[in-house]
Amino acid sequence: MSQTIFVLNGPNLNLLGSREPDKYGHATLADVEALCRATAADYGMEADCRQSNSEGELIDFIHEAGARKAAGLIINAGGYTHTSIALHDAITGVALPAVEVHVTNVHARESFRHHSFIAKACFASLAGFGIEGYRLAILGLATRIGAKAKA
């Protein structure tokens, strides 16, 4: 098995830090990626962080993760969470352990955000922890696959 975790971020997450900071905070996507790389390294793994505003490109990233036999996926599909059966199918198709992450608590927001097509393809979902949710997702994934923290 690979020691790589794919961390995928969907549409508009490239705007973290400037997009609605009252909801999403001031941390940038670069901050998220640094947090993920550092957390993965604590478990002797590597975080391959990618962002796309394109649904098709996110699907291609998921397929690549499967082909490379990645250790797992962390995915914040952004708005595609609520619309994309294709992302759900891609995640189930590669059969990798996956965690869904959202910076905000989607269940405390508009009703259209309350349904996730991604959640059923993932073994866990985290929402509302800010960017700390990514760290928690990696910890959960590491536990799920039996990775141990480096001493």
Show which residues are catalytic.
24, 102
Q: φ, ψ for residue 68 (rounded to 5)? A: -85, 0
CA dist., res. 105 & res. 78, Å (int): 12
CA dist., res. 7 & res. 101, Å (int): 10
Write the burial class of residue 60 (CB in 10 Å: 0-12 exposed, 13-18 middle, 19+ buried). Answer: middle
- For 86-100, the three-class secondary structure string (H helix, E strand, C coil) is HHHHHHHHHCCCEEE
CA dist., res. 89 & res. 99, Å (int): 15
SS3 content of the chain, % helix, strand, coil (to 5): 45, 15, 35
